[in-house]
A = this chain, B = another copy of it.
Amino acid sequence: MLDGQSEIRVLAFDIFGTTVDWYTGVTTQATEVARDRGVELDGGELASAWRDRYLPSMNKVRTGELPWTVLDELHRESLDGLLEERGVANAFDESARARLVRAWHRLPAWPDAVAGLAELREHYILAATSNGGFALLTNLVKAAGLPFDCIISAELARHYKPDPEVYLTVAALLDAPPAEVLMVACHNWDLGGARAAGLRTAFVERPLEKGPHGQADRPGEVAVDLSADSFTDLARKLADLRAGV
């Protein structure tokens, strides 16, 4: 647990699911692209299936089966397979597929994200710390107006979370000991990786992260230093810690 003595200087935020609502964003954009092409497609089902391939696709890089490959390309490879499986490959040409891959560059922030980050930014350095590529994250953060101080993509480490290299890159680039970096995420696998690398961890619950039918991670499933149900709640809890409450 954190206490008033623990110095935290940097907050590293996971993005997909934690800061932005990928499910709604990808569902909406996939539905639009399908409609433009005159194809019957369940956007929500595609979004979920696509995201299901997220960790397995990165594991190919993590295990060395693939050399370093930026997330856009992994997304594209997964998408190609999904369209094939659904028998709609012919309806999505190169430009439609590129548009779908770009859907991940423009996703809506959770309602508390901008206000919570703005408050936290008064006290900490805020880094967007995601497996998304540097360009993707820069586009996404800009479009959603998220007040981060810097983008630290996994691309800078050429490793994917939960590899320790990503978390340690945040600490190294910001010249902070790992114990002064608090990783904020709604995923247990991410917080487990951060903790193993020596960072502090905060779980933020995002019950709708995987859409209305998906099962999001719940608090209490892994050991963390803090738990919150929104970024504004996190800001309050950190303020209490600073005040020694």
The complex places the Cα of A72 from the Cα of B142 at a distance, in Å, of 29
Whether B125 lies near A174 (C-beta < 8 A) is no
Instruction: Say whether A39 faces chain B, with CB atoms less than 8 Å apart.
Output: no
Contact mask for chain A residues 128-140; partner B; CB cutoff 8 A; 1 contact, 0 none = 0000011100110
Whether B142 lies near A174 (C-beta < 8 A) is no
Residues of B within 8 A of A173 (CB): 134-135, 153, 155
CB distance from A135 to the nearest CB of B (A): 4
Whether B155 lies near A134 (C-beta < 8 A) is no
Kindly identify, within residues 61 to 82 of chain A, every residue whose CB is under 8 Å from any CB belonging to chain B: 72
Say which residue of B121, B138, B156 sits within 8 Å of A174 (CB atoms): B138
Instruction: Say whether A221 faces chain B, with CB atoms less than 8 Å apart.
Output: no
- Closest chain B residue, CB of each to CB of A121: B142
Whether B142 lies near A149 (C-beta < 8 A) is yes
- Closest chain B residue, CB of each to CB of A137: B150
Whether B150 lies near A138 (C-beta < 8 A) is yes
Kindly identify, within residues 146 to 190 of chain A, every residue whose CB is under 8 Å from any CB belonging to chain B: 149-151, 153, 155-156, 173-176
The complex places the Cα of A134 from the Cα of B172 at a distance, in Å, of 9
Whether A174 lies near B141 (C-beta < 8 A) is no
Closest 3 A-B residue pairs measured CB to CB?
A: A135-B175, A134-B173, A150-B151
Residue of A141, A150, A155 ringed by the most chain B CB atoms within 10 A:
A150
CB distance from A173 to the nearest CB of B (A): 4
Residues of B within 8 A of A142 (CB): 121, 125, 149
Knowing A155-B173, A156-B156, A173-B155, the reply to whether A141 touches B134 (Cβ < 8 A) is no
Whether A141 lies near B135 (C-beta < 8 A) is no
Pick 14 A–B contacts, CB within 8 A, sort by A: A72-B175, A121-B142, A125-B142, A134-B150, A135-B175, A135-B176, A138-B150, A138-B174, A142-B149, A149-B151, A150-B150, A153-B173, A155-B173, A156-B156
CB distance from A71 to the nearest CB of B (A): 12
Residues of B within 8 A of A138 (CB): 125, 149-150, 174
- Closest chain B residue, CB of each to CB of A175: B135
The complex places the Cα of A149 from the Cα of B139 at a distance, in Å, of 9
The complex places the Cα of A155 from the Cα of B169 at a distance, in Å, of 12
- Closest chain B residue, CB of each to CB of A139: B125
